Amino acid sequence: MKRRFPILLKVILLGIGVSILTSGTAVTVSYFNQVNRGEQNLIDSIDNTLEAANDVFSDLDGQNTLLYVEYLNDIRNYVQNIFINDTDKKTIDDFNTFDEFAAYYQTKYRWIYPHDPRFGLLEPGEAEFKLAYYTILNLLDNFQISSGSVSAFLSYEDVDKTLVFLADSRMDNSDRKANDYFHVPGYYYHIKSSDYFVDSSHNKHMGCRLDGYLTRFIEIREPASTPDEPQRLIANLYIQYDLSKVHKQSLDVLYKELLIIGLSALALIAIYTAFSYLLFVKNINKLSKSSSEIRQRLVDKNMNEIVDIPIKSNDEMSVLKDSLIEMEKAIINYVDIIHKEAQEKERNNAELMVASKIQLDSLPPEKLEDKNASLRAFIKTAKEVGGDFYDYFYLDDHRLAVLISDVSGKGIPASLFMMKGKELIKSAVQSYKSLVEAVNGVNNMLVKNNEELLFITSFVAIIDFEKGEIKYVNAGHEKPYIVSKDKVIKLDGESNIMLGVEANYQFKQESHKFNEGDYLFLFTDGLNESINDSEEEFGYQRIEESLKDTGDSHLDDVINKLINNLDSFTGCREQFDDITMLAVKCKKNELHLRYEQKDYSIISDATDKFNEYFSFIADDKKASIGIIIDEIVNNYVSYEEREDLVIEVNFKLVDNDLEIVFSCNGNDYDPFKNHKEKFLETFHSEIELGGFGLSIVKDLSKSHKYHYKDGHSYIEIVVAL
């Protein structure tokens, strides 16, 4: 049974999905807003500090400003004169890559910290440098503390390289002093060329984001003596902040928001689920239960009870409820109509089955075996009753009348007309002196009282086995074939018109040779006009191909070959017309069997084929012949030594006798020579075993003899019929 997925669960899952989507969107937007606001607040804080620092270093009216600028110049001069080797002032142009340039200068330029051991190696005048250094260091500490940043430091620049970094006190033992970017010569120029550089056109001050740090800076220039004189760049002041703090603060806010939103979402889902159930899921469940009850009532054929569905809402559910009740009423009414129609159809089908049985029972058997002919018929109607029919009957001991016909139309009218036509043709052929007179008479009788304007196509023939001739009249029917051992001949004579169309029409009779071993193949247009899925007809060519090389075949094999070829051609395409086939073979009163094996199964096979081919022989004679076959073949299989034994049996009717010739490629042995007659009624214990079978064979046969020729032994037996 298919697993159900309750609608209430779907509603809950939908609510959860919507909540997760909206909450997730809200939290994500909130998080990024928090980060943006935090970073913007941080930038504003750093910019305020940088503004204050700019005021300190650029206020030309303040005495301290000049003093700070002087201190900056003292430090720069000190570094240039003592720390830097002027002879090694290489530029970036002297290196292949920026990394080589940076590696070279990392060993030459250092940070200057309060506890730098090189202070003890200073030349006279170091006191002035220390005063300048600690004054500036105090300023950097104030900038770092007031901004809440990670660090504040100065860099002294010379064209395209950084001379030295001067850091706040907290940078003294910081691991960040190992950062490659802080050691790179030309730090200021490196920042300005970075992909992460932020131009001052977008913010108050220049800066960049590198390695998780937000760095912003201002340029400190020496006041010019005249307005037109350019201001010399002394140093750059940098304020750095760790952005991870902003992200951590934003994450803390995010977690709180998630908790609040999650609890709110659970509450909303619960409320949403409750209202959904009360407003429509409850009514849907009622409709579902009621529909199941309706189905069960229909299954139980309880057509008298229609139960109201307890839904009180004045919305679409109420409309659906009314529709369901009306549908049940309509189904009950429809089922009642269908039931009556089914009963009527069942009654009609029963009548059609009876009619079909009567129709098929009116046809002669599908098989005939006698001394003159072997006949096989096949009929398959497109509906319960059809318009095709065949017939055969003897006019005397050597003339066989055969006919095949197709009535226009389908169903009951065609079947009734078919029955009428069949009896008229049979009666006329038996009554009239000639075949053509019989067909003319049938035609005139069918024309009378034919208000439905039905007609019959028919091929009527009389086979004379003594003369080896077929006389026939083709009344608008498909032209049949005569098949011999080496060719297929189409009887391409006069077709005439159909029976029942025109009164007093003079039909023409024709004839054709019909030799021993030939067979006549008749069929209706349902065979050649059968179509496949490509709307292609089976056609005459495929019929002729199927009949080719079947002159020596058994008629059962011929009919089966046509049926199989037709089925392969049409596939699953529904049959639209009746299909009838009739094959009549002019029998050779001779049957030859050959077995290239040494097996006792030869006995049963030879006996069965003999009984089938000579079925007209009396049963007691067939039994006697079966005993003879058993005894002779048994001796061959039991006593011949060679494994490549070939056994042949030939049966031939000669007047009132049956000649049987057994042969094999074995030893020259005459079983009848020196044979002593033995019979069971004279049996006693002193008689040697063996020889009883040969005694029976001799007793059942009219004559028997043996001879050996060309390496084959022959036993010839004649049985009187």
- The predicted-structure confidence for 229-245, as pLDDT tens digits, reads as follows 777 778 888 888 777 77
Residue 560, burial from CB neighbour count under 10 angstroms (0-12, 13-18, 19+):
middle
334 located within any domain = yes
Is residue 200 very low, low, confident or very high in pLDDT (cuts 50, 70, 90)? very low
pLDDT band at 434 (very low <50, low <70, confident <90, very high): very high
Least confident of 55-69, 113-127, 654-668: 113-127
Strand ranges for 224-303 from DSSP E: 232-242
Mean pLDDT of 140-165: 75
pLDDT of residue 544: 93
Structure tokens at 431: 């009554």
The pLDDT assigned to 102 comes to: 62
Mark which of 337, 358, 379 sits at the end of a domain: 358
- Between residues 46 and 439, which one has the greater pLDDT? 439
Domain extent, residue 354, equals 302-358
Would you state the structure tokens that stand for residue 146, as one six-digit string? Answer: 């007031």
Rounded to an integer, the average pLDDT of 537-544 is: 93
Rounded alpha-carbon distances, angstroms, from residue 713 to 269, 627, 640, 706, 710: 104, 20, 11, 7, 8
Residues 449 and 430 in one domain: yes
Asked if 439 and 324 sit in the same domain, the reply is no
Give domain status of residue 425, yes or no: yes
Residues 529 and 618 reside in one and the same domain: no
Are both 572 and 638 inside the same structural domain?
no
Query: In which band, very low, low, confident or very high, does the pLDDT at 354 lie, cut at 50, 70 and 90?
Result: low
CA–CA dist 537, 529 (Å, integer): 5
Mean pLDDT comparison of 165-179, 638-652, 667-681, highest-scoring range? 638-652
Predicted local confidence at residue 205, as pLDDT: 65
Q: Is the pLDDT of residue 386 over 70?
A: no
Q: pTM, whole model, 2 decimals?
A: 0.51
The pLDDT confidence band at residue 349, using thresholds 50, 70 and 90, is low
Amino acid identity of residue 186, one-letter, is: G
The encoded tokens of residue 600 equal 């006792």
Q: Quote the pLDDT of residue 90.
A: 63
Backbone angles phi, psi at 561, to 5 degrees: -65, -40
Residues 183-196: what's their mean pLDDT? 52
- 518 and 660 housed in the same domain: no
pLDDT band at 191 (very low <50, low <70, confident <90, very high): low
- pLDDT score for 51: 80
Question: What confidence tier does 387 reach under pLDDT thresholds 50, 70, 90?
Answer: confident
CA separation for the pair 427, 71 (Å, rounded): 146
| Rounded Cα gap, residues 609 and 603, in angstroms | 10
Q: Residues 6 or more apart from 329 whose CB is under 8 A from it?
A: 306
Are residues 218 and 74 part of one domain? yes
- For 300-323, what is the mean pLDDT? 66
Tens-place pLDDT, residues 562-614:
999 999 998 888 887 889 999 999 988 888 999 998 999 999 999 999 998 88
The sign of the torsion formed by the CA atoms of 245, 250, 251, 253 equals positive
Residue, of 688 and 170, whose pLDDT is higher: 170
Q: What is the pLDDT of residue 181?
A: 44
Q: How much is the mean pLDDT over the chain?
A: 78
On whether residue 106 sits in a domain, the answer given is yes
Confidence band of 661 (pLDDT split at 50, 70, 90): very high
Q: Tell me: pLDDT of 527 over 80.
A: yes
Percent of the chain with pLDDT strictly greater than 70 = 73
591 bridge partner residues: 651
Question: Is residue 100 domain-shared with residue 148, that is, in the same domain?
Answer: yes
Same domain, 459 and 572: yes
Q: Are residues 595 and 581 in the same domain?
A: no
Q: Does any domain span residue 238?
A: yes
Return the structure tokens found at 687.
Answer: 């008689």
| pLDDT computed for residue 105 by the predictor | 58
Query: Are residues 112 and 244 located together in one domain of the fold?
Result: yes
Mean pLDDT of the 427-443 span: 93
Residue 7 has pLDDT above 80, yes or no: no
Q: Which of 38-47, 117-126, 267-276, 599-608 has the highest mean pLDDT?
A: 599-608
Confidence at residue 185, expressed as pLDDT on a 0 to 100 scale: 45
- Give the closest residue to 394 by CA, choosing from 419, 378, 375: 375
Max avg pLDDT among 31-35, 159-163, 224-228, 669-673? 669-673
Residue 260 is encoded by which pair of tokens?
Answer: 């609040």
Mean pLDDT computed over 336-349 = 76
Compare 49 and 162 and report the one with higher pLDDT: 49
User: What pLDDT does residue 608 have?
Assistant: 92
The total domain count for the chain is 4
Residue whose token pair is 């129609």? 341
Q: Is residue 280 part of a domain?
A: no
170 and 188 in contact (C-beta within 8 Å)? no
Q: What is the pLDDT of residue 82?
A: 60
Last residue of a domain, one of 586, 608, 624: 586
Pairing status of strand 213-222 against strand 232-242: antiparallel
Average pLDDT over every residue of 437-463: 90
* pLDDT reported for residue 202: 46
Is 7 inside a domain boundary?
A: no
Write down the pLDDT at residue 84: 55
What amino acid is encoded at 354 in this protein?
V
Considering the domain boundaries, does residue 595 fall inside one?
Answer: yes
Tokens standing for residue 223: 């006041």
Last residue within a domain, chosen from 327, 343, 358: 358
Out of 259-268, 289-298, 709-718, the most confident range is 709-718
Query: What CATH number is associated with residue 543?
Result: 3.60.40.10
Whether residues 375 and 449 fall in one domain: yes
* Between 47 and 679, residue with greater pLDDT: 47
CA pair distance 223, 673, nearest whole angstrom: 155
Nearest CA-CA partner of 706 in 674, 681, 658: 674
DSSP secondary structure of 601-635:
HHHHHHHHHHHHHTTTS-HHHHHHHHHHHHHHHHH
pLDDT digits (tens, 9 = 90+) for 59-77: 644 455 567 888 888 777 7
Q: How confident is the model over 31-59, as pLDDT tens digits?
A: 777 777 777 777 777 778 888 887 787 76
Residue 112 has pLDDT above 70, yes or no: no
pLDDT score recorded for residue 707? 93
pLDDT of residue 418: 81
Model confidence pLDDT, tens digit, residues 456-497: 999 999 999 989 999 999 999 999 999 998 899 999 887 899
On whether both 393 and 461 belong to a single domain, the answer is yes
Residue 11 within any structural domain of the chain: no
Share of the chain above pLDDT 90, in %: 28
Provide the CA 71 distance to its chain's centre, in angstroms. 88
Alpha-carbon Rg for the chain, nearest whole angstrom, is 59
